[in-house]
Amino acid sequence: MLGVVNGPVADFIFRRIAKPKAGGYFEANKQFIAPLAVPDATPPQRAAVAVGSKRLQELHSARRYTISQLHDRLSDCQEIVQSHEWLWSDLQSVATWKQKNPQGFKGKELTAWAKCQHEAAVKAKLTALGARLTPRSSFQVRLVDGVLYLDIDGTAALHAYMTAEGAAFWLASWSAVARTARGSNAKTLVKSLLKGCTTDNRVLRDQLSTLNARCNELTGQIHAVMSRTVPGG
């Protein structure tokens, strides 16, 4: 029973009939649990689901432990915060707006005007990003040819250019954000993505890469178990 109600079919139905809550959670009242489909399975089918459920429990436990180790090591690194221009390369900085200065402002008036232009541009970016987010959005991070991508529902939504040295840090950092991003709004998501870390400790860098790869491997194994066809189903 636990294997069925925690399976992808019941999850699909539940997320579409239950009331969304903050942080990507859903209200699990009786009215949302009762309609979930529980098939009248044969004994071999029930046995297959039970085996898969136990395997998933093992994999999820290993994944939680790996994520905990990864977060512990990220917290030991030196925190760095990037600007919005790092995430959106076509975004003009306050300094660039001050250089343009079509109104001929000076001093504090110029600075205030430039900041206002920059904030308006950032707001427009966040609004466009927010339009792509739903309580059910899925997130995935990938590094391709020196470019780090955040995919939302299977399509690239944000990207940043990586140096060879910084790629491991930001890949681990963005992956950590993606694992808990469901239900986030655009401002919160971007704020998290702009926070990264660095360290001169080579052992720590290697462990970050290893743990992040291990977490992705476990996630793949979880998806593989969940997608198996039950014999006779």
CB atoms within 10 A of CB 197: 19
What is the number of structural domains in the chain? 1
pLDDT (0 to 100) of residue 211: 92
75 sits in the region (left: phi over 0; alpha: psi -120 to 50; else beta) called alpha
Say if 231 falls within a structural domain: no
Query: Percent of the chain, pLDDT > 90?
Result: 50
pLDDT band of 230, cuts 50, 70, 90: very low
Whether 209 is covered by a domain: the verdict is: no
Q: Collapse the DSSP code of 146 into the 3-class scheme (helix H, G, I; strand E, B; otherwise coil) and give the result.
A: coil
Higher per-residue confidence, 232 vs 214: 214
Question: Does some domain include residue 52?
Answer: no
Q: Which two tokens stand for residue 23?
A: 């942080």
pLDDT, mean of residues 51-73: 92
pLDDT at 169: 85
Q: Is residue 60 part of a domain?
A: no
Instruction: State the pLDDT at residue 231.
Output: 41
Report, as an integer, the average pLDDT of 168-193: 91
Q: Which of 163, 170, 124 is nearest to 149 (CA)?
A: 170
Q: Which has the closest alpha carbon to 63: 217, 168, 182?
A: 217
Q: Give domain status of residue 174, yes or no.
A: yes
Domain-embedded: residue 223: no
3-state secondary structure of 149: strand
Could you give the percent of the chain with pLDDT greater than 70? Answer: 97
61 confidence band (pLDDT: 50, 70, 90) = very high
Record the pTM: 0.72
* 233: pLDDT strictly greater than 70: no
| Tens-digit pLDDT profile for residues 92-119 | 999 999 999 888 889 999 999 999 999 9
Largest CA distance in the chain: 80
| DSSP E strands, the chain | 19-20, 26-27, 78-81, 139-144, 147-152, 155-161, 195-198
Domain assignment present for 155: yes
Partner residues linked to 197 by β-bridges? 79
Report pLDDT for 229: 46
Q: What is the mean pLDDT of the chain?
A: 89
**Which one-letter amino acid corresponds to residue 48?**
A
Q: Supply the range of the domain harboring residue 116.
A: 78-198
Confidence of residue 58 (pLDDT cuts 50, 70, 90): very high
Amino acid type, 47: A
Q: What is the C-alpha R_g of the chain?
A: 22
The pLDDT value given to residue 143: 93
Residue 150 lies inside a defined structural domain of this protein = yes
